[in-house]
Amino acid sequence: MAQREYNFTDIETKWQGYWEGCCLFHTDDSKKKDKFYCLVMFPYPSGTLHVGHGRNYIIGDVVARYKIMKGYNVLSPIGWDAFGLPAENAAIKGGTHPAAWTHKNIKAMKHQLRRWGVGYDWDREVTSCNPDYYKWTQWIFLKLYENDLAYKKKAAVNWCPSCSTVLANEQVVDGCCERCDSPVRQRDLVQWFFRISDYAQKLLDDLSLLEGWPERVKTMQANWIGRSEGVRIDFRLEGSGEILPCFTTRPDTLYGVTFVSLAPEHPVIEQLVTGSPCEGEVMAFVERARNQGMVERTAEDAVKEGIFTGTYVINPVNNTKVPLWIGNYVLMEYGTGAVMGVPAHDQRDFLFSKKYHLPVKAVIQPEGESLYAETMKEAFTGEGVQVNSEAFNGMLNTRAMVAIAEHLEMKGLGKRTVTYRLRDWLISRQRYWGAPIPIIYCETCGTVPVPESQLPVLLPEEIEFLPQGMNPLAKIDSFVNTTCPKCAAPAKREVDTMDTFVDSSWYFLRYLSPKDNNQPFDKKKVNEWLPVDQYIGGVEHAILHLLYSRFITKALYDLDFIGCKEPFHHLFTQGMIIKNGAKMSKSKGNVVSPEVLIEKYGADTQRLYTLFIGPPQKDAEWNDRGVPGAHRFLNRLWQKVVEFEESYAKVGRTQIDMQKLPPKAKAIYRQTNQTIKKITDDLDTSWHFNTAIASIMELLNNIDSFKVVAPRNTGEELEFRVFRYSMETILLLMAPFVPHICEELWEAMGHKPSIFHNKWPEYDKDAIQEEEVEIVIQVNSKVRSHISVPVDISDKKLKECVMKDERVISYIEGKTVVKTIIIPKKLVNIVVK
């Protein structure tokens, strides 16, 4: 009788339908089992998925299926991060409405996820561009606004004068507009911010709670928050005596200050130069520096430029008069927007002083050396001893840092402060395809939040997309014109929308009650299900998305909306899929489409290859030629099981007694148990799916050489039962990786579906113990021989055996044994002279 073929297409369709039918991934909140919230970063619906994207969802699916078999109540939801610029660009280019474009892509991607056999609780699907979702994004904005965590201020945007439109950073290429190539300028607009900087310390401190996060992600976040301790020193303007605070982390260099430099944006500049002879020149410089834009101004080899304001300031510590400059390298957003210039001990200041012929004054000497300002070729930034620093001379500069700071505080000339690099989160976008900011401007009442009862502020559907002009919403009169919620007078709506990172910083809360029309999330359910047990996504989100989500979670916690301080308990960041030396992406033109592979080899093959390609936390090179290898393995597994399809039911199912097994069957039984241990350990800790799969391949290779026959007499039956046990174990162990084929073969072996309703196999502790071990014998650290000995052999006995070995004898003959090193169960090294 001809054997059944491995018809993966039919099998995969069958089981995908089955899982949906039996609600395998449907999560019932009321279940009493331990919960496991498994979350993959929800995708942006940009078009279609390629095999590189697949890695993320396949890993998530493996974990979810494994935890189901381990008996957890697993929640594995999915949704769509559906607002954003590409949809709007597509509208400008192709004339499709962003909503239509987005929903078309969602449909296509949903189909792809299904065909991968990736399971989700589709009843919980959320789509961030739907009003029933963004209503609550707006609600979060209102809560932050009510609690002074959202505010507005002027901030610069990239402005293309020729398109007269605002550009996102990624639309600026080499300082020019990506569309028309004209130089981008900076323009100030009033924009909305979230006060994430208020949470800088908490976000930093609580990194220590995140035990299940990779160290490198925590380090990246800590660096991004960028806490630095320093001193605010109050310089005084000559003449007016007005205070000009400067921030420094190096108060020990205070006596070496030879100038002070302001950011071009510094508010004091205008009042200083107005009416002065250099006004025109200075304001022209400021204008130029500001239009340089951040891109150019912060470039690696940016030229340091400055201009003298004509004013002097007084160094509070010694009343020295130094010139006040403006420097394009000084940032208004960091510290106080004014820095003290110490050319002798800061490289940037050194270069600046050389360019503008400002004096250099050394105040720290390296031990045993003397620095002379005239001969210095670069700034000295190391540790040393204070000189030219009055009372502090002779002190180590590290001590002087503290001493000078204390001195300044005592005299009321400054204050020790902590500064963070983290800046407030600018959430305004001058775009259509985002959640409208729920704010109304009234001539009498000012800025008025939209009342909760009037949410959502709906995006108008009828809209024109042009490559030019301000925010498209500003042109829709019916949207802009409204009435003030307070006084009912005619008023105007805010026309900016929110950064899409706002949408994605709370979606994991919405999954818990996705259809609730009365509240954004159910506090009780949030407290039950959060934190997310396992979050899986790309390392490119290590900073922004993960920090914003942490911030929103903390803010909601402080406002008592949820009882959880940190959203994600364990984080897994998978590596990129590389093809031909570059990240797989549409723009690089190196994408591999899953459809072709699925048609030719099936989804299980693609899953297996993706998992086998390398450790998932590392980048991996995709090689199409490797795919048939994965398929070959599945085919072999198929043949092996199906070959005996008729026999499985005929043999009894009593416990196997290992001691009664013939040697070969015993070895297979032992290896099967060792494989259970190996795979379970891999899934629980290291996630090295590649070596997990390799160990199953090894097991199957050995089973192959264990010529099984369909049982006819009693002795054969015993061997056949070991074979059946091993094959069943392989199916259970492989089920999370390649679920379709395992379901089908599980059924072929005489079981009722689903394989996922079975318990994860456990290994027999006695069975994994080897009786004999092979010992490596080295002479002078070179491998010279091997012997096989019982595991429990004593060191003395082992040494005796080793010394009897012929090859050992020939190597140590005529030499003196200096020492013998014995590593139990592994190796013996004889050192001779």
Partner RNA sequence: GGGCGAGUGGUGGAAUGGCAGACACGAAGGACUUAAAAUCCUUUGACCUUAAACGGUUGUGUGGGUUCGACUCCCACCUCGCCCACCA
Residue 331 CB, nearest distance to RNA (Å)? 4
Residue 819 CB, nearest distance to RNA (Å)? 6
Site for RNA in 715-754 (CB under 7 A): none
Site string for RNA, 237-266 (x = CB under 7 A): ----------xxxx------------x---
Residue 574 CB, nearest distance to RNA (Å)? 13
Q: Which two tokens stand for residue 767?
A: 């069975």
Pairwise CA distance, residues 169 & 493, whole Å: 26
Pairwise CA distance, residues 402 & 522, whole Å: 50
Nearest to 118 by CA among 49, 165, 176: 49
Site for RNA in 516-555 (CB under 7 A): 539-540, 542-543
Nearest to 512 by CA among 526, 501, 532: 526
Site for RNA in 633-672 (CB under 7 A): 633, 635-636
Residue 554 CB, nearest distance to RNA (Å)? 22
Residue 320 CB, nearest distance to RNA (Å)? 17
Contact indicator for 504, 540 with CB cutoff of 8 Å: no
Site for RNA in 314-373 (CB under 7 A): 328-331, 334-335, 337, 339-340, 346, 348
Nearest to 509 by CA among 530, 484, 491: 530
Alpha-carbon distance values, 495 to 137, 311, 506 (Å): 16, 42, 23
Pairwise CA distance, residues 96 & 765, whole Å: 63
Name which position in 43, 77, 79, 230 contacts RNA (CB under 7 A). Answer: 230
Name which position in 100, 173, 209, 303 contacts RNA (CB under 7 A). Answer: 303
State the residue for tokens 């005084």. Answer: 236
Site string for RNA, 123-162 (x = CB under 7 A): ----------------------------------------
3-state secondary structure 457-472: CCCCCCCCCCCCCCCH
Site for RNA in 685-714 (CB under 7 A): 688, 690-691, 693-694, 697-698, 701, 704
Site string for RNA, 803-832 (x = CB under 7 A): ----------------x-x-x--xx-x-x-
Name which position in 632, 650, 757, 797 contacts RNA (CB under 7 A). Answer: 632
Binding of residue 88 to RNA (CB under 7 A): no
- In the complex with RNA, the residue whose CB is nearer, 32 or 819, is 819
Residue 678 CB, nearest distance to RNA (Å)? 10
Name which position in 189, 207, 220, 658 contacts RNA (CB under 7 A). Answer: 220
Which SS3 state, helix, strand or coil, does residue 657 take?
A: coil
Contact indicator for 355, 341 with CB cutoff of 8 Å: no
Tell me which H or E stretch contains 817.
strand 817-823
Alpha-carbon distance values, 626 to 585, 609, 611 (Å): 20, 7, 12
Contact indicator for 119, 76 with CB cutoff of 8 Å: yes
Name which position in 10, 774, 792, 800 contacts RNA (CB under 7 A). Answer: 774
Name which position in 464, 621, 766, 795 contacts RNA (CB under 7 A). Answer: 621
Residue 806 CB, nearest distance to RNA (Å)? 11
Site for RNA in 413-442 (CB under 7 A): 419, 421
Segment interacting with RNA, rule: CB under 7 A, options 125-133, 151-159, 222-230, 729-737: 222-230
Binding of residue 174 to RNA (CB under 7 A): no
Segment interacting with RNA, rule: CB under 7 A, options 181-189, 400-408, 615-623, 643-651: 615-623
Name which position in 776, 789, 803, 812 contacts RNA (CB under 7 A). Answer: 776
Cα angle 135, 136, 140; round to 5: 125
Which SS3 state, helix, strand or coil, does residue 173 take?
A: strand
Residue 480 CB, nearest distance to RNA (Å)? 34
Cα angle 790, 795, 801; round to 5: 65
CB atoms within 10 A of CB 202: 16
Binding of residue 291 to RNA (CB under 7 A): no
Segment interacting with RNA, rule: CB under 7 A, options 65-73, 130-138, 147-155, 629-637: 629-637
Phi, psi of 516 (to 5 degrees): -70, 120
Q: How far apart are the first and last CA of the chain?
A: 69
Segment interacting with RNA, rule: CB under 7 A, options 401-409, 428-436, 613-621, 672-680: 613-621
Name which position in 357, 625, 707, 765 contacts RNA (CB under 7 A). Answer: 625
Site string for RNA, 451-490 (x = CB under 7 A): ----------------------------------------
Question: Which pairs with CB-CB distance under 8 Å and at least 24 residues apart come from 199-208?
Answer: 199/551, 199/554, 199/555, 200/225, 200/227, 200/420, 200/422, 201/227, 201/418, 201/420, 202/554, 203/422, 203/547, 203/550, 203/551, 203/554, 206/550, 206/554, 206/565, 206/566
- In the complex with RNA, the residue whose CB is nearer, 36 or 352, is 352
406's CB contacts (< 8 A; 6+ apart) are none
- In the complex with RNA, the residue whose CB is nearer, 182 or 701, is 701
Chain CA centroid to CA 632, Å? 34
Size of the site for RNA (CB under 7 A): 81
Segment interacting with RNA, rule: CB under 7 A, options 90-98, 466-474, 554-562, 623-631: 623-631
